[in-house]
Amino acid sequence: MDEIEVPQYFICPVSLQIMKDPVTAITGITYDRDSIEQWLFKNRNTSCPVTKQPLPKDSDLTPNHTLRRLIQAWCTQNASLGVDRIPTPKPPVNKFQVLKLLKDLRNSQLQLKTLRQLELLAAENERNKKCLIEAGVPSAMIVFILSCFRKGKIDEGLEEALSILQFVKVPAEEMKVLLAENNQILDSLTWVLGCEMENSIAVKSHAVLVLKALVQKANPDIFQRLKLEFFERIVKILRNGITQQGINAALHVLLGACPWGRNRVMMVEAGLVFELVELELESPEKRTTELILGILFHLCSCAEGRAQFLSHRGGIAVLTERILRVSPAVDDRVIFILSLISKFSGTQMVVQDMLIVGTVTKLCMVLQADNATYIKDKAREILKAHSNAWMDSPCFPGRSFNENLH
């Protein structure tokens, strides 16, 4: 295939691959449908990739049937050389087809089949997602989930309904309307997180991803409606395990809830601090670590949070290990957490623990590293506050260093 010269006008200007479904934009340039639709979806200020002229997201893309037939004929002629024939693309789904599926959803015997069809459409391309939103699919999925919640029963299709909501990114204003019309959606998702079911990891991962999308687009006062049960369910799924994507989504939600003092109290009561340390001890990916430490910083700002953190024997050790090894954001959070512990919970046992696990050595390294000035100042404050307890240790740089601290 690499040795065959492909006619240049068969090649999509975006993907640089042979076009499977050529469409012509209003600028007169032809692209492969999937490529130009993804381009329009991902770029805020959309313009024609070739001409740079404005190209609205909802602009018409006209199928270029003549070019498609030429490409198919050329593929057929070169089949003996290993060229696969381009299949005739399916016609784009339209709003009326989706409305027909939503009508079928009311029939209990067709419910699961219909939800699976909608899920496939949602996963296929951005054009379908837009069509599903226009036909009111997100609202129908919320109604389905609420129905399960009110009956207290997991119906077949719950996983698919949650998956559809995850795929279909509902615009912020529309999400606010959906929330206003369905004020139990938060309770229903909390309920899903606590249910035991087949394929539990997938269902709960979908649920927490939907939850993340919901709180990101809702009014901030949604965080004031959270209950202890909500945080207990989140802690439980973090403990029992969900997908990595689900873990990060749950952490995003928790971090968003942290600015409210009542939420921090409930998080500590639910045992979140201890669970976050456990999660961090598994050496997660960088973004997960940043989210965990962001939450721990908020929770360690209260005495109960610090007490729970220090009750875990690996807490200070895992913080120490992360210094200068992950990212500047992690260094920032770790130093500030250690500062809170040093200032408000710096008992003799804690201070000695910091010495034993290497925290003192790492703080001295921070002073020598290429860190922001404010981080160095915080590290210096911690060292200065407990220098008398550490001065006789071989880990401490010496009397002259101590004098410089002061």
Q: What is the CATH number of the domain that holds 18?
A: 3.30.40.10
Q: What share of the chain is helix, strand, coil (3-state, %, to 5)?
A: 65, 5, 30
Q: What is the span of the domain harbouring residue 59?
A: 8-81
- The answer to whether the pTM exceeds 0.75 is yes
Average pLDDT rounded to a whole number, residues 5-33: 92
CB 354 within 8 A of CB 316: yes
> Is residue 68 a part of any domain in this protein?
yes
Query: How many structural domains are present in the chain?
Result: 1
pLDDT at 4: 80
174 confidence band (pLDDT: 50, 70, 90): confident
**2 pLDDT higher than 70:** no
Average pLDDT rounded to a whole number, residues 299-321: 96
- The mean predicted confidence, pLDDT, of the chain is 90
User: Could you tell me the CA-to-CA distances from 237 to 139, 190, 231, 275, 283 in Å, in that order?
Assistant: 26, 11, 10, 10, 18
> Is residue 16 a part of any domain in this protein?
yes
**406 pLDDT higher than 60:** no
User: Could you tell me the CA-to-CA distances from 126 to 43, 317, 360, 402 in Å, in that order?
Assistant: 13, 46, 52, 61
CB 260 within 8 A of CB 301: no
**275 pLDDT higher than 80:** yes
Q: Which residue has the higher pLDDT, 116 or 57?
A: 116
**121 pLDDT higher than 60:** yes
User: Could you tell me the CA-to-CA distances from 243 to 66, 75, 168, 219 in Å, in that order?
Assistant: 45, 41, 19, 27
> Is residue 76 a part of any domain in this protein?
yes
Residue at 336: amino acid letter: F
pLDDT at 204: 94
Q: Angle at which helices 172-181 and 200-217 pack, to 10 degrees? A: 110
| Angle, alpha carbons 269-272-276 (nearest 5°) | 160
User: Could you tell me the CA-to-CA distances from 340 to 162, 360, 365, 376, 384 in Å, in that order?
Assistant: 40, 15, 20, 15, 14
> Is residue 349 a part of any domain in this protein?
no
> Is residue 303 a part of any domain in this protein?
no
**313 pLDDT higher than 60:** yes
Q: Look at 126-130, 365-369, 379-383 and tell me which has the smallest mean pLDDT.
A: 126-130
> Is residue 331 a part of any domain in this protein?
no
319 confidence band (pLDDT: 50, 70, 90): very high
Q: How far apart are CA 190 and CA 235, in angstroms?
A: 12
Average pLDDT rounded to a whole number, residues 320-332: 96
